[in-house]
Structure 1
């Protein structure tokens, strides 16, 4: 299990390809707040629900000054299909080597139906304009998480 990040920690830098193959770095968002969320796999029911929740609430997050980026271990082709099929309007990045997942403490032991395996721990972070972790949530639920995030950020009307 990799070490978890906490508020005040420096956010680990990354540069990963998005669904179009374009390289996206955390430093691209310097000076702005960014929500970085990690999910297990594109096009699975929970991950689709979560991505669509972000898509449907993106204007509210953007208007409040938050950019959104999703990261999974998926390869570019799978991300491209997911983005197109769900009409996602924010970058999804692929980390098949799992280096970024490990650096952010989201690659670890999971249990499902009595089996233990390594996988992505569904997690969300808010990185402040200076590149520090402002909020860190591990083991979040796919359903209802975006609404909770909006409430926790004080954006709910």
Structure 2
């Protein structure tokens, strides 16, 4: 299926994900010492970052005009919306920082080169991390979905304080509202 417009989505036509309990174990969990490659070429170890970190995960971003991963991508609950989710974090980045987030990161299992194209095209002001070898995903037992032979992280957002998960947003729907929900939580729960 050709993806002409990654932003124009009628969420009422997209199946919403349900809370399958796959993230209930995360709150209170320490982030393992896993180094992840960032879109700027650096290596980021989330467990070593002090202060408050916002980490949002998404299955896979698409590229305008290119063929989708599978024809029924939009009908997989929680699959559609990676670009709108990322753009909402981009648009609220300054507000998230003002509300106490020392760092904001996106993460997916896509490789860094693929992610870098998206970061440049969408003018994303934060780094996106690649967990292409699933090291963090497996260490935290993050919720995943298997599509077209690929393991993808289900959409979620984590608030991490000094290397420990203090809040989990899961499931996330609609994706373009996730950054606003995170911002509201940060404002109501200062570090």
How high is the TM-score relative to the length of structure 1?
0.82
Q: Do 2:34 and 2:135's aligned partners in 1 also have CA atoms closer than 8 Å?
A: no
Unaligned 5+ segments in structure 1 are 112-116
Structure 1 residue corresponding to 2:43, chosen from 12, 17, 23: 23
Runs of 4+ in 1 over 4 A off after TM superposition: 1-4
For 1:114-133, list aligned pairs within 5 A.
Answer: 118-129=151-162, 131-133=163-165
Secondary structure (helix, strand or coil) at the match of 1:88 reads coil
**Mapping of residues 1-157 of structure 1, within 5 Å:** 4-30=24-50, 32-43=51-62, 46-66=81-101, 67-109=103-145, 118-129=151-162, 131-141=163-173, 142-154=175-187
Shift of 1:2: 7.2
The SS at the match of 2:121 is helix
* Higher CA-based Rg: 2
Distance 1:126 1:68, change over 3 A: same
- Alignment: residue pair count: 149
Change beyond 3 A, Cα 1:3–1:136: closer
Shift of 1:88: 0.4
> Could you tell me how far 1:110 is from its partner in structure 2?
6.5
Structure with more strand by fraction: 1
Q: Distance in 1 between matches of 2:90 and 2:23?
A: 30
SS of equivalent to 1:102: helix
The normalised TM-score by structure 2 is 0.68
Q: What displacement does 1:35 show?
A: 0.6
Gapped regions of structure 2 (runs ≥ 5): 1-20, 64-79
